[in-house]
Chains A and B, each alone.
Chain A
């Protein structure tokens, strides 16, 4: 029996660290995060990915207090990303209830961090988050700091390295497709999935259930992350799974 394909909603948040106590609007925004977490919990999604996308650029640590509050309502596996720089940050996140941590910029700066986190907490805690852009000439490049900083790294080669350094899975996000709902970058997802044996989570661009099926069948991804499709359309993770089941994929219902 093969492992079930996981369908994970992604919650991306900006400026979370500045949110609390800074006016009504900010509080409401945090309230909407909690609301989303509760709804996903009720709808029995497989896992939740929560990323504070401005933490690294602002030089902030993860906001442990907020993760604590989210984890208190999250009775499913929770992956947290954004601003993680060290083993200590990972430990703090696990202490407040995260199950896995996604690290992006810091592992490019210091690849040894992958091994340090994996050896200390188990590789399942170490999700290597890889953001990439496709250049006009068709080549791909890894970017860090929320897509703002080019690294010169090739995503396929970098994926192989994070696997060799004992990352547990790869969250692979197309920067230019993210939020567009135009479909995943199937070509790169396939090249990365075929190059490594750890699970690859396809991310960035999902707007239709069909896009998910493509990422799985043509892209060879192991799991599907999506955000905008749930936030801006009537589509739900449950319907996604019904669709995938109809199309022959093994999902949890």
Chain B
């Protein structure tokens, strides 16, 4: 069975994601100790909140080095959710500049209102269109709705890392990937069937 380490860095309630992993057949382990990463078969970095607070907590708890080791060197499948996805970027621009994990060639900026799509934060069910073949979106129809709550988005420099986009405020990157590393801006744990399918896809990597 998949042992799924859910990184607890003080940025949200982790019950929902833990329960979703359980429902999808994985064993969730919620931990704020980087040492626990070594026994995990999968790692999830969730999170709601501001980029600088999140990154500061990751650094202070000693997760940066441990995550680099497990995810980059050992190739453990990794999924960042919402803020957890944004932290994968090189840099964030929320309340000043701050370095992220640097795994994805992009920067995190505030979503800009466009036309009818004027409401920021973007809190809604919205379509997700995969831009490339990926095991993460297997058996999920293109254009399926997922649940979003966010004001910032990742802007990728490298098109090959854009896994999916969403047509809001002129369109933004709603999922990224690079090898064993995945990130989604939406909340699969709050997106019912499609969300569970995505989590199951991740657990089968």
| Chain A neighbourhood of B61, CB < 8 A | none
Most buried by A among B48, B119, B192: B192
B190 touches A252 (CB 8 A): no
Partner of B196, one of A3, A6, A75, A96: A75
Contact with B along A1-22 (1 / 0, CB 8 A): 1111010000000000000000
Partner of A2, one of B116, B189, B195: B116
List residues of chain B with CB within 8 A of the CB of A75: 16, 19-20, 23, 189-192, 195-196
In the complex, chain B residues 182-205 whose Cβ is within 8 Å of any chain A Cβ: 189-193, 195-196
CB-based contact B125/A252 at 8 Å: yes
B1-39 contacts to A, CB under 8 A, are: 13, 15-16, 19-20, 23
Given A71-B15, A75-B23, A94-B13, check contact A46 B116 (CB 8 Å): no
* Main SS at interface, chain B: mixed
Does A35 belong to the interface (CB within 8 Å)? Answer: no
Residue of B nearest to A222 (CB): B119
> Would you list which residues of chain A between 64 and 80 have a CB under 8 Å from chain B?
68, 71-72, 75-77
- Bound CA span A252–B20, Å: 21
Q: Is the CB of A44 within 8 A of B193?
A: yes
Instruction: Please tell me the size bucket of the interface on A.
Output: 20 to 34
Q: Which residues of A contact B189 (CB under 8 A)?
A: 75
B174 to chain A, nearest CB (A): 14
How big is the B interface, by class?
A: 20 to 34
Alpha-carbon distance between A94 and B16 when the two chains are bound, in angstroms:
11
Partner of B119, one of A3, A41, A99: A3
Which of A3, A71, A75, A77 has the largest count of B CB atoms less than 10 A from its CB? Answer: A75
B193 CB contacts on chain A under 8 angstroms: 44
A77 touches B147 (CB 8 A): yes
Once A46-B125, A71-B15, A96-B15 are accepted as A-B contacts, the answer to whether A41 and B192 lie under 8 Å apart by CB is yes
B188 to chain A, nearest CB (A): 9
Closest residue of chain A to B168 (Cβ to Cβ) is A1
Bound together, the chains give a CA A78 to CA B193 distance in angstroms of 16
Query: In whole angstroms, what is the CA distance A253 to B126 when docked?
Result: 11
Q: In the complex, which residues of chain A have a beta carbon less than 8 angstroms from the beta carbon of B138?
A: none
A153 interfacial contact with B, CB 8 Å: no
Nearest CB in chain A to that of B187: its residue: A77
- Is B117 an interface position by the 8 A CB rule? yes
Question: CB distance A76 to B192 under 8 Å?
Answer: yes
A4 lies within 8 A of B124 (CB): yes
A150 interface residue (CB < 8 Å to B): no
**Complex contact A77–B190 (CB within 8 A):** yes
Taking CB atoms, residues of chain B closer than 8 Å to A252 are 125, 145
Whether B123 pairs with A97 at a CB distance below 8 angstroms is: no
**Across-interface contacts of B126 in A (CB, < 8 A):** 3-4
CB distance from B20 to the nearest CB of A (A): 6
A180 within 8 A of B: no
Any B CB within 8 A of the CB of A58: no
Q: Pick from B23, B48, B124, B190: contact of A76, CB below 8 A.
A: B190
Q: How far is the CB of A34 from chain B (nearest CB, A)?
A: 14
Contact of B98 with A by CB under 8 A: no
User: Quick one: which of A21-49 are within 8 Å of B by CB?
Assistant: 41, 44, 46
- A122 CB–B CB distance under 8 Å: yes
Q: What is the minimal beta-carbon distance from A1 to any residue of chain B, in angstroms?
A: 5
The docked-state distance in angstroms from the alpha carbon of A252 to that of B127 is 9
Q: Point out the residues of chain A lying under 8 angstroms from B119, CB to CB.
A: 3
Question: Would you call A97 and B192 a contact (CB within 8 A)?
Answer: no
Interface assignment of A217: CB less than 8 Å from any CB of chain B: no
**Can you name 25 A-B residue pairings with CB atoms under 8 Å?**
A1-B117, A2-B116, A3-B117, A3-B119, A3-B124, A3-B126, A4-B124, A41-B192, A71-B16, A72-B15, A75-B23, A75-B189, A75-B191, A75-B192, A76-B190, A76-B192, A77-B147, A94-B13, A95-B13, A96-B13, A96-B15, A97-B15, A99-B190, A122-B121, A124-B121
Partner-A contacts on B (CB < 8 A): 13, 15-16, 19-20, 23, 48, 116-117, 119, 121, 123-126, 145, 147, 149, 167-168, 189-193, 195-196
Nearest 9 interchain pairs by C-beta: A252-B125, A252-B145, A3-B124, A97-B15, A44-B192, A124-B123, A72-B19, A1-B167, A75-B192
